[in-house]
Amino acid sequence: MTGKAIPKIRLMIIGDEILSGRRQDKHFAHFVDLLSQRGMHLGGAEFLPDDRDTLAEALARSFATPDIVFCCGGIGATPDDQTRQAAAQALGVELALHPEAERLIAERCADSAQRGQGSADMSIPENQQRLQMGVFPVGSEIVPNPYNKIPGFFIREHTFMPGFPVIAWPMMAWTLDTRYRHFQHQVVHVEHSFLVFRLPESRITPALEELEQRWPGIKAFSLPSMGETGHPHIDLGVKGEPAAAAEALAYLRAEALRLGGELTPPEK
């Protein structure tokens, strides 16, 4: 990756078990936090099923972008895991056993055998099946896995990891700190907000539009609450470069007051 512009960073979460509700996604919040710690932010997220054609179509669109993409789930070796195959289909390349993945999987089997679990003989059927987890699209590089050595893979700015958080999260961090360190803390970005009461969102909307015209690099936001925990209010704010954000915030607060809003909850 070269140049000063930071590509969009996206997350793909893959698995029928997420879409059916049998498991709850944990990757989204953790990945947002990992990015925030590094002065980066998430530009988009997508939830996808374990269907090869659906995945291949989504990945083909994704590979056509310059985006940095992290994909969680579906890289195992059971019939419901289709991510490796879909990635190869999207890229129009073959699948092949990666030599380094083969070595690492054999090490994992040997480690397990030393603990009395399974065999280190890679010719037996169950270990041959384990080697399928190292079959990646041709041209892939491995993503190291400190938890159990069985790697993920990287190709065309897409990092593919298992769905298990205990495995995927260290792989996310390693990728951000190894492949994309030069994008970390490149842009100072702040977010400020305040609560305003007794102000309809429709009344403040023109001020939000005017704000983004005056400060082009600043994004305004309005998050209304129906008052589930007290009084109806709007969480108004700005995000972007610090100096401009401070100016925009002062403008927004002044406009909220001018239009009849209040900064403290009304008395019951």
Q: Where are the alpha helices (DSSP H) in 115-221?
A: 125-131, 165-178, 201-214
Detail the DSSP E strand segments found in the chain.
Answer: 9-14, 44-48, 68-72, 95-97, 135-137, 141-143, 152-155, 158-161, 190-197, 219-225, 233-240
Nearby residues of 233 by Cβ (< 8 Å), 6 or more positions away: 195, 196, 197, 224, 225, 227, 265
- pTM of the predicted structure, to 2 decimals: 0.84
Q: Which two tokens stand for residue 58?
A: 């989504």
Q: Which amino acid is at 221?
A: F
Angle (CA) 3 9 10, round 5°: 150
Which residue type is seen at 247?
A: E
**What pLDDT score was predicted for residue 227?**
67
| Euclidean distance between CA atoms 56 and 61, whole angstroms | 9
Q: CA-CA distance, 95 to 92, in Å (whole number)?
A: 10
Strand ordering across the sheet containing 141-143 = 44-48, 9-14, 68-72, 158-161, 152-155, 141-143
pLDDT at position 84 is 97
> DSSP string spanning 209-239?
HHHHHHSTT-EEEEEEE--TTSS-EEEEEEE
**Distance in angstroms (rounded) separating the CA atoms of residues 74 and 47:** 12
Cα separation of 248 and 88, whole Å?
47
- The β-bridge relationship of strands 158-161 and 68-72 is parallel
- State pLDDT tens for residues 33-81: 999 999 999 999 999 999 999 999 999 999 999 999 999 999 999 999 9
Whole-number pLDDT of residue 226: 80
* Closest among 6, 12, 15, 124 to 74, alpha carbons compared: 15
Q: List domains and CATH numbers for the chain.
A: 9-183 (3.40.980.10), 190-258 (3.30.70.1130)
Question: What's residue 189's pLDDT?
Answer: 82
Alpha-carbon distance 72 to 159, whole Å?
A: 8
pLDDT at 3: 44
Tokens of 219: 């994004």
Give 183's DSSP letter. G
So what's the pLDDT on residue 2? Answer: 41
How far, CA to CA in Å, does 49 sit from each of 5, 20, 56, 83, 212? 32, 10, 11, 10, 37
In the numeric block, which tokens belong to residue 57? 């179509």
Low-confidence ranges of the chain (pLDDT < 50): 1-3
